Amino acid sequence: MKLSLLIASVFIFNLATAEEGMWPFNQFPTEQLKAKYQFTPTKEWIDHVRLSSIRLAGGCSGSFVSSQGLVMTNHHCAHSCIEQLSKSGKDYVASGFLAKKHEDEVKCPEIEVNQLIDIKDVTAQIKAKTSKLKGKEFNEQLKASMSEIEKECADGSERIRCDVVTLYHGGQYHLYKYQRYQDVRLVFAPELAIAFFGGDPDNFNFPRYNLDLSLLRVYDQGKPLVTKNFFKWSADGATENELTFVTGHPGKTSRLLTVAELEFLRDVRMINDLIYLAETRGNLTQFQQRGAEQKRYATGRLFGIENSFKAKRGGLQALLDQTFFASKVNEEKQLRQKINANPKWKKEFGSAWDNMAAAYKDYRNIFEAHEFIERTIYGSRLFGIAKTLVRAAGELPKPNEKRFREFSEASIPQLKQSLFSEAPIYDDFEVENLTFAFTKARETLGADHPYIKKLLGVKSPRQLAEALVKGSKLKDIPLRKKLFDGGEKAIADSQDAMIRLAATLDSESRSIRTKYEDEVETQIKQAGEKIAQAQFAVYGSKRYPDATFTLRASFGQVKGYQQKGQEVKPFTTIGGAFERHTDAEPFALPKTWLDAKSKLNMNEKFNFCSTNDIIGGNSGSPMINKNAEVVGLIFDGNIQSLGGDYGFDASVNRAVAVHSSAIMETLKKVYQAEHIANELGK
């Protein structure tokens, strides 16, 4: 994958003609749409689209597609739910799931749905308290202000979620207010064999043949949610060159980062991540070979690891592209020259880039320790539960504004949902994940590191892992609740092996976190704020901010592209999936499809690609037309889009979606789900 110089020269600050962009809904690209497509969305259109789009708090997007709270998202976004509801002899991941009536719909243990109901600019409110502060005091006050604003916004209601979002890396702060729903039930999921047809070899590629679809339902007070905001269903689906919108929650982009930040990603973060992911992939693949059950409950994690590896590898290739990186260096050089040419700007912003570079130099010194001591749960749900319980006991007695942000009042409902989840935990999988992670921690930090000595003692990684799992009763949810409610005394009195380990390691973990926050994060945030202000001073503030896992809109067209001199057409067909069928994983169609072949329209559009600008987190996003009708379901990007974290090239970057007509065709003819097909868009 190669990023062209076109990215550098076009995408950075060309606001008048650039089609790329992930636009906040309070910064909707109305002028660009009017200029290029002669389409001017009304306030009513924008509000309806916003309220019809939803976020899955765990990391995906979705949309309401009926008046009865039906939610459309990807199979891979609901995979954890499908896997958690499965058990030996009833593998919904492999066989699929279909609820014939509301009573058959089953609650997902850990899915939270967020519907955006308001956005408020709180920049002035925050900067009134932070503008005169520096260093540690600045960072502490910034976090305290965020927690205070969020608590006031929610006003004690667990049905409301409020997040203060940092935009432009510190240039602005906006308060996002959501309606929160935690009773979310599985309605439909196809077999993994067709949801992820082609497996990892086809992932991030096009042409594709995937029914990456799941349907969920939001319940309110025990009944299906009645909503007037939902997307209608297009009769024809997407057509070539049609104007399309993607409304979803792109997780994170790095298009506005400094050269120092990009160098850190290229030289430190990405390399370390890729090595760890590659070795984890091998370990999980080996674990799956133990048996059918191990394969079943390790599949979800393996998919996530493989997906991350491929995405990060593409991102690293972008950063290693010399032409592209040189353009980023030149872009920063030009901005700094303009700042330095203005005495007032130079005094206010001139040192920010050097301060950012110094912060990342300091970060390199503690990066590995921070990753393996504070930022990890060692791939273990049991240790993650124990660490959360130990931390909660220490944090919750503090005033809201003094707590770690993940224990603020605004965060408690989602924390409890995860902590008290009924999702199954498998002992052998826990042991394997812990063994691997402990081995990597020892390898990275060294056997003589004080933390490793405290962690392992005289045990090997596997001996410790086995002792921890055998000595823990944290699979018992009433015990978790008792420890959570009992606070510091309950934790101190507990003899649970996982709790004791988490408590033993907590002081070192807090210490490295404090060092990172006081010496690195503080510098990054203050420098980032100054650089954002410098960009505003020179270029204005009309450019869209980097992605922040908040609702954004992107617009584009259904278009093919050229790859290695060959034309890639924008559509695939259902018949193409049968042509690819080999009767062997990952290109084996499920039996339901083979049995229904004679009923299916082989020429029906299946998957398609468009120029919409997306990134990880957009999975599950609806693709709609200008009538706000569903024409597709985003599930991936092509291989050229893997550099999309850092730039966008409309000539080759493509979003990949399931065609709305294929969803209707297969619900009716493969799954005999007429009741669902008839509900869509109504």
Type of residue numbered 579: E
Mean pLDDT of 598-627: 98
Report percent pLDDT > 90 for the chain: 96
Based on the number of CB atoms within 10 Å of its own CB, is 126 exposed (0-12), middle (13-18) or buried (19 or more)?
buried
**Greater confidence, 343 or 1?**
343
Report percent pLDDT > 70 for the chain: 97
According to the model, what pLDDT value does residue 89 have? 87
Q: How far apart are the C-alpha atoms of 312 and 309, rounded to whole Å?
A: 5
> 35-70, pLDDT tens digit by residue?
999 999 999 999 999 999 999 999 999 999 999 999
Q: How far apart are the C-alpha atoms of 610 and 40, rounded to whole Å?
A: 21
Instruction: Let me know: does 614 contact 655? Beta carbons within 8 Å.
Output: yes
Q: Which CATH class is domain 5-112+182-252+547-679?
A: mainly beta
Instruction: Let me know: does 610 contact 558? Beta carbons within 8 Å.
Output: yes
The runs of H, that is alpha helices, within 3-159 are 5-11, 30-37, 43-52, 75-85, 92-95, 123-130, 135-154
According to the model, what pLDDT value does residue 321 have? 95
Mean pLDDT of 361-377: 97
Residue reference for tokens 């700094």: 336
18, pLDDT greater than 70:
no
Residues linked to residue 71 through DSSP beta bridges, in sequence order: 64, 216
Instruction: Let me know: does 582 contact 271? Beta carbons within 8 Å.
Output: no
* Distance between start and end Cα atoms, the chain: 42
9, pLDDT greater than 70:
no
Mean pLDDT of 368-390: 97
Q: Which of 411, 416, 415 is nearest to 150 (CA)?
A: 411
> Strand 232-233 vs strand 629-637: parallel, antiparallel, or unpaired?
parallel
522, pLDDT greater than 80:
yes
Length of the chain: 682
Residues 6+ apart with CB under 8 A from 371: 272
Based on the number of CB atoms within 10 Å of its own CB, is 568 exposed (0-12), middle (13-18) or buried (19 or more)?
middle
> 635-671, pLDDT tens digit by residue?
999 999 999 999 999 999 999 999 999 999 999 999 9
DSSP conformational letter for 547:
P
Based on the number of CB atoms within 10 Å of its own CB, is 141 exposed (0-12), middle (13-18) or buried (19 or more)?
middle
Largest CA distance in the chain: 75
11, pLDDT greater than 50:
no
Q: What are phi and psi of 519, to 5 degrees?
A: -105, -20
DSSP conformational letter for 170:
T
Rg (CA), the chain: 25
> 127-159, pLDDT tens digit by residue?
999 999 999 999 999 999 999 999 999 999 999
According to the model, what pLDDT value does residue 14 have? 40
260, pLDDT greater than 50:
yes
> 443-493, pLDDT tens digit by residue?
999 999 999 999 999 999 999 999 999 999 999 999 999 999 999 999 999
Q: Which of 483, 392, 384, 391 is nearest to 434 (CA)?
A: 384
7, pLDDT greater than 70:
no
**Per-chain mean pLDDT for the chain:** 96
> 177-212, pLDDT tens digit by residue?
999 999 999 999 999 999 999 999 999 999 999 999
Instruction: Let me know: does 614 contact 554? Beta carbons within 8 Å.
Output: yes
Of the pLDDT bands very low, low, confident and very high (cuts 50, 70, 90), residue 16 is very low
According to the model, what pLDDT value does residue 12 have? 42
According to the model, what pLDDT value does residue 533 have? 97
Q: How far apart are the C-alpha atoms of 288 and 299, rounded to whole Å?
A: 8
> 541-554, pLDDT tens digit by residue?
889 999 999 999 99
CA distances from 102 to 85, 98, 612, 652, 677 (A): 17, 11, 35, 43, 15
Of the pLDDT bands very low, low, confident and very high (cuts 50, 70, 90), residue 17 is very low
According to the model, what pLDDT value does residue 542 have? 86
Would you kindly state where each structural domain of the chain is located, as residue ranges? 5-112+182-252+547-679, 116-181, 254-350, 377-525
According to the model, what pLDDT value does residue 8 have? 41
> 565-576, pLDDT tens digit by residue?
999 999 999 999
Coil vs helix vs strand at 142: helix
Residue reference for tokens 């002899």: 89
Q: Supply 575's token pair.
A: 């018949």
Q: What is the DSSP string of 178-227?
A: EEEE--EEEEEE--HHHHTTTHHHHTT-SS------EEEEEEETTEEPP-
Residues 6+ apart with CB under 8 A from 150: 162, 163, 164, 175, 408, 409, 410
Mean pLDDT of 202-228: 98
279, pLDDT greater than 60:
yes
CA distances from 575 to 578, 589, 598, 601 (A): 5, 12, 11, 8
The runs of H, that is alpha helices, within 18-85 are 30-37, 43-52, 75-85
**H or E segment to which residue 273 belongs:** helix 270-288
Instruction: Let me know: does 335 contact 538? Beta carbons within 8 Å.
Output: yes
Q: How far apart are the C-alpha atoms of 519 and 530, rounded to whole Å?
A: 17
Which pTM was predicted? 0.95
